[in-house]
Amino acid sequence: MKNYEKFILLSYVLGALYSFLFYNKALGISVPIFMIGALLFLLFCLHQTIGIKKNTAWLLAIPIALLSFRFFLSDLSFRLFRDNSLLVFFIPLAIVVLCTAMVLLLSEKCPVEWTSIHFIPKILHGFFAPIQYFARPYRWFYSKFFSSPQPRQSNGYVKKILLGLCLTLPFLFIIVRLLASADMVFGQALSSIPKLIIDEVTNHVVVVILVTLFVGTYACAYAWNLLVDDQNTAIKAEGSHQTKEKKYFDPIVVTTILATINIVYIAFSFIQFSYLFGGGLASLPEGFSYAEYARRGFSELLVVTTLNFSIMLFSLYTTDLKRKHTGRIIKGMLWTMGIFTYVMLFSSFYRMRMYEQAYGYTYQRIFVYFFLCLEAVLLLAILWHIVRPQFPLIKVCIITTLVFFVCLNYLNADKMIAKENIDRYFETGKIDIEYLKTLSYDAIPQISRLSEAPDAYVVNEVASYLADVKIKLCKPQSWQEFNWAKYKAKKALE
């Protein structure tokens, strides 16, 4: 069997595996199983086409595996359309990006460094480029079985008829179902056919076939795209880019911008130390409470710190810091801005802590803590890059962000939020039961502690909620939907 025939066979086997694991099922252990199959398929395609480079890109398989196993450890499908759904959306997106990046780095198709900004278009091209080859497996199938060099006249007719029937069947099932609904007489004429068979064929079989064909076609087109060698074009484009003389912004303009901003930050930092960190809260404007003062400026500070990162990176890469006098001045200004940014980060952390103590814990607030810690680490890397220009800033930023993202997914935030809010309830008597109901099954063992709450309303609400959860967990599920969080929640309720 030729390589291309192997690609087609394995592509549609992968499509069938996708339908078998995911169609009409909740996400669970099926996600890591499918990712294992997809990675093996990609590595086979690379090995059979353009070869595999021996480099550290293999390490990307670690975050891919860890992120895919999150769907087994926690019920992430429960979080959709809730306040923590943003992170759930980014998990499959991160898996796709990492898989595409790993394939590009393991192959010979991408001469661009992964720390370069030009690597982002390469990832997008690697994901969307296979779409242009969607028709290729069907052309191969037609040329292989229906257009032989010297076909017999009778065999040629039979093959063409069979091909027409195969193409017509999916449309035929849908048309018959629609006509049966549109005309009662026609529907009664079909009543001799068991309704269950019609429903199964139109509602399930056709969908499974279409999903299998789509995933298999994309996998086959992806393998074919690896055969297309655009290395020379990429090298020329990269070479022409590198030969261009780098242009820098005027250092006087950059110095003026940084100096003006730092003057504003001096005044802001004075206010922070006077009102927030010091004893000046007693003289707050009328109508502002301790927590309200913390909440009002928090989101604005996040925007300012993010803007500071952009300004510092822009100054680093668009200004000639090797100049003797202006380079030192700009470096000093950047360090000053970095110190003021740390003041803002600490202020944001302090404000969030005050607000959290007043109103409790939520998923978004836990996410903010991680974001602030990530900004603090990245800012340290930027400041060190100013001192040591040879420090690989972009590489460290990408790796640090990826590590923080994986760690955030393994934090088990729902369990921590439930525990902290319930501990806070037993201390203060304040709790938001409705918010606890939005958490995933990871929080069930902690929520069950409220069965011993002193408030009868809380006990009744929790009992009703846990009864509903128990009914949902007792529903029969396939092994593809097995989830560790559901299993622990069920054991806790038992």
Contacts of 113 (CB under 8 A, 6+ apart): 119
Burial class for 51, CB neighbours closer than 10 Å (0-12, 13-18, 19+): exposed
Whether the Cβ atoms of residue 294 and residue 352 lie closer than 8 Å to each other: yes
For residue 375, give the nearest of 410, 405, 336, 401 by alpha carbon: 401
**Is 286's pLDDT higher than 60?**
no
Give the span between the Cα atoms of 325 and 313, in whole angstroms. 20
- pLDDT band for position 381 (cuts 50, 70, 90): very high
Summarised one tens digit per residue, pLDDT across range 117-135 is: 777 788 888 888 888 888 7
| Residue 260: alpha-carbon gap to chain centroid | 38
Amino acid at 144: K
**Is 2's pLDDT higher than 90?**
no
At 46, list the tokens.
């690379």
Query: CA 307 → CA 151, 314, 325, 345, 459, distances in Å?
Result: 69, 10, 26, 13, 47
- Classified as helix, coil or strand, 403 is helix
Q: For residue 203, give the DSSP letter.
A: I
R_g of the chain, CA atoms, integer Å = 30
- Could you tell me how many helices (H) and strands (E) the chain has, helices first? 21, 0
Summarised one tens digit per residue, pLDDT across range 467-476 is: 888 888 888 8
For residue 37, give the nearest of 22, 55, 54 by alpha carbon: 22
| CA torsion through residues 78, 84, 85, 91, sign | negative
At 287, list the tokens.
């109508």
**pLDDT over 70 percentage in the chain:** 70
- pLDDT band for position 241 (cuts 50, 70, 90): very low
Domain limits, the chain = 1-244, 251-411, 414-493
Residue with the bigger pLDDT between 488 and 145: it is 488
Whether the Cβ atoms of residue 473 and residue 489 lie closer than 8 Å to each other: yes
For residue 222, give the nearest of 99, 142, 129 by alpha carbon: 129
